[in-house]
Amino acid sequence: MKRLIPILLLAVAGLLQAQTKKWTIAVYLCADNNLEEAGITDLNEMEYAIDTSKYRVFVLLDRISGYDGSNGNWTDTRLFRVTPDANMSTINSQLLKDCGELNMGDPDNIIWFMDTVRLLSSTECYWLILWNHGDGWRPMPDGKDVCFDDTNGDEISISGGELNYACEEVFKDLGKNLSIISYDACLMGMLEVEYETKDYSDVTMHSQETEPWDGYPYDDILSWLNSNPQATPRELARQSAYLYTQSYSSGITHSAVDMGPWYTRYCLAVDKFARELIKAGGKSNSTIATALSGTQSFSYSSYKDLYHFAQRIVAQGSLPASLRNAAQAVMDLQGSGVIGDTTLLGNFQKSYSNAHGITIYGPTSSPSGGYSNLYWAPNSDWYWFINGSSSLPNQPRVFYYYNSLGDSIDYGNGIQFKVDLLNSGGGTANNVSATLSTLDPYVTVTQASSSYGNISSEATATSQSFYTVNVSSSIPKGHRITFFLAITGTSYTNTSSFNIIATGEPNVGNEERDWVAPDGIVLAPVSNPVRGEALIAFYTTGRASATLRAYDISGREMALLYSGIGAGDHELAWSAPAPGTYFLRLAEGESARTIRVVFTR
């Protein structure tokens, strides 16, 4: 039976002193299985390298009998605050609580663990590491999901919604996203897994392939953090993924993915790719089937590298141009893993030249049961593709497509914006309406509902009225706000979401904000719509090389407008190749800004 351990206010001297550290790392170490010995080793690695003056690490360690008899051979679950110790065989960290036997496959225990960590360590950034066996999205009996607990015969279900539920409840307790969620576990580098947590985490870090026995090199990662205690989530995740792959000689993968607004556009590009695959005949098209079967896989033949599949489709000149363009858009938005460039922050591998950082489920036969229960399934056409559709099914599939604010939002009251919905299905969506909500403590929705009318197949519709929100002036700069849309239509419902990044600046409505040499890059807004050429003004700090790129509404890169390094103001003119909506993205180091430009005839 699953049970929730009640939250206890742990009166441990020294833990609740003034909080000045940026990072708290929480390791949910489920060694209640044949990985027990590796779990003991990893905790000792943390003790060996940690600098407690710069950050804190907490470990919830569950053990089992029969695999490792060291350290008293206890077999229950214990909560530790990691403390420095050079002994690599004996655990000497501070024991905060003997919890008895916990079921680490119960998501309520992740929630309890993170809330307890929050009470003990109030910091700007939290990194949750799920440590255990992993099997991607696959549930029992076909797979193990993640955090398999032998004693209790349970695991954290992906398709059953347990991982999503845990992250949502952790968000409610923290009042903000997890800065990083990562998996010291096999095969978790899947889009389907990312999608379950995207609304509640800033960055995801994971492996496409199985992991070696020793897993993360915690001593190397913490040693780097000792020298960089103010690292951003993007920097820490990218560097940790790199250090992981560097600690092994071959057969290794790891990647870090930014879950911000760019990731939403990436997922929309994958949906467009799926639609074009279906319209080209789907898996019944021998060229597509051959490309899929020859795509780089990981442990299971159905776990496919998404970028490599798109790459193989692009190379097939006999396929429709619309499909090849959609495949290229996926590649463009995923990016190369250079920090600050698109959604992929870092991709590192040894012996896997076709591992590009994100796996997707792509069976050549029918998909396994449970896939349709994933959060991803109703928010794209991918399930229809892998299920063998050769034309778009005659039913609607409606989800978020675009918002008029773009990627950022100021603080203030009465902020209005409109939202576009996409019907990706083959049938008309009738009498569509959507209600906006958020769990964010800094945001109040004051006008929540709008009608959309009927949305035909592969068409978009704009909300007929404005959504209105109040954003607190205390919202931190860079805070990510997730909005949810409860979408309804005739005999149709769905939940979709998107996120926006807080600027930390006051809302000035339609007035042009003064922009002078700031402490970060600036991409000035454009007065839409534009006829002819758009004048683009931007500022770079010179701290790193910068690029300004133009993308169409599908995410396909249209032009590289600027590339260079140097501080100062810049201006250039750009004319789009055709009327329509485009996005301009300025990236410098780990910073990025995006604006929308609408060209008319």
- Annotation: CATH topology of 522-600: Immunoglobulin-like (2.60.40)
The arithmetic mean of pLDDT across residues 391-400, rounded, is 97
Domains 398-506 and 522-600 share a fold: yes
- Annotation: CATH topology of 23-257: Rossmann fold (3.40.50)
What was the pLDDT predicted at 5?
Answer: 41
What was the pLDDT predicted at 528?
Answer: 77
Q: Which of 434, 405, 440 is nearest to 421 (CA)?
A: 434
Rounded to an integer, what distance in angstroms lies between the CA atom of residue 92 and that of residue 45? 12
Rounded to an integer, what distance in angstroms lies between the CA atom of residue 77 and that of residue 141? 25
What was the pLDDT predicted at 394?
Answer: 96
Q: Name which of 21-25, 116-120, 143-147, 266-270 the model is least confident about.
A: 143-147
Average of per-residue pLDDT values in the chain: 91
**What number of other Cβ atoms are within 10 A of residue 132's Cβ?**
29
Q: Which of 297, 307, 292 is nearest to 343 (CA)?
A: 307
Going by pLDDT thresholds of 50, 70 and 90, the confidence category of residue 17 is very low
Rounded to an integer, what distance in angstroms lies between the CA atom of residue 307 and that of residue 379? 20
Q: Which of 476, 497, 496 is nearest to 175 (CA)?
A: 476
What was the pLDDT predicted at 12?
Answer: 40
Going by pLDDT thresholds of 50, 70 and 90, the confidence category of residue 491 is very high
Rg over CA atoms, the chain:
24
In the chain, the percentage of residues whose pLDDT exceeds 90 is 77
Helix residue ranges, H only, 64-179: 107-120, 162-174
Query: Left if phi > 0, otherwise alpha if psi is -120 to 50, otherwise beta: which for 412?
Result: left
Q: Where are the domains of the chain?
A: 23-257, 264-386, 398-506, 522-600
What is the identity of the amino acid at 23?
A: W
Most confident of 394-398, 529-533, 551-555: 394-398
Rounded to an integer, what distance in angstroms lies between the CA atom of residue 182 and that of residue 324? 32
Q: What angle do CA 253, 259, 263 make, to 5 degrees?
A: 95
What was the pLDDT predicted at 315?
Answer: 97
Tokens of 440: 């964010």
Burial of 365 from C-beta contacts in 10 A (0-12 / 13-18 / 19+): exposed
Tokens of 95: 């024991």
Going by pLDDT thresholds of 50, 70 and 90, the confidence category of residue 137 is very high
Helix (H), strand (E) at residue 37: helix 36-49
What was the pLDDT predicted at 140?
Answer: 60
Rounded to an integer, what distance in angstroms lies between the CA atom of residue 468 and that of residue 108? 34
pLDDT tens-digit series, residues 270-301: 999 999 999 999 999 999 999 999 999 999 99
Strands 398-403, 419-423: pairing is antiparallel
pLDDT tens-digit series, residues 76-127: 999 999 999 999 999 999 999 999 999 999 999 999 999 999 999 999 999 9
Q: Name which of 16-20, 286-290, 434-438 the model is least confident about.
A: 16-20
Question: Looking at the predicted structure, is the pLDDT value of residue 23 above 70?
Answer: yes
Helix residue ranges, H only, 175-251: 191-197, 218-227, 233-246
C-alpha dist (Å) from residue 172 to 18, 111, 392, 499: 23, 10, 38, 16
What was the pLDDT predicted at 9?
Answer: 40
CATH 2.40.50.140 fits 398-506, yes or no: no
Supply φ then ψ for residue 505, to 5 degrees: -120, 155
**What number of other Cβ atoms are within 10 A of residue 467's Cβ?**
24
pLDDT tens-digit series, residues 221-262: 999 999 999 999 999 999 999 999 999 999 999 999 999 998
Q: Name which of 300-304, 521-525, 572-576, 590-594 the model is least confident about.
A: 590-594
pTM: 0.86
C-alpha dist (Å) from residue 296 to 212, 337, 352, 357, 393: 19, 18, 8, 11, 29
pLDDT tens-digit series, residues 558-568: 899 999 888 77
Going by pLDDT thresholds of 50, 70 and 90, the confidence category of residue 369 is confident
What was the pLDDT predicted at 141?
Answer: 61
Helix (H), strand (E) at residue 264: helix 261-279
Tokens 């780990």 found at: 590
Rounded to an integer, what distance in angstroms lies between the CA atom of residue 239 and that of residue 127? 14
Rounded to an integer, what distance in angstroms lies between the CA atom of residue 291 and that of residue 314? 10
Tokens of 338: 């250079």
**What number of other Cβ atoms are within 10 A of residue 351's Cβ?**
12
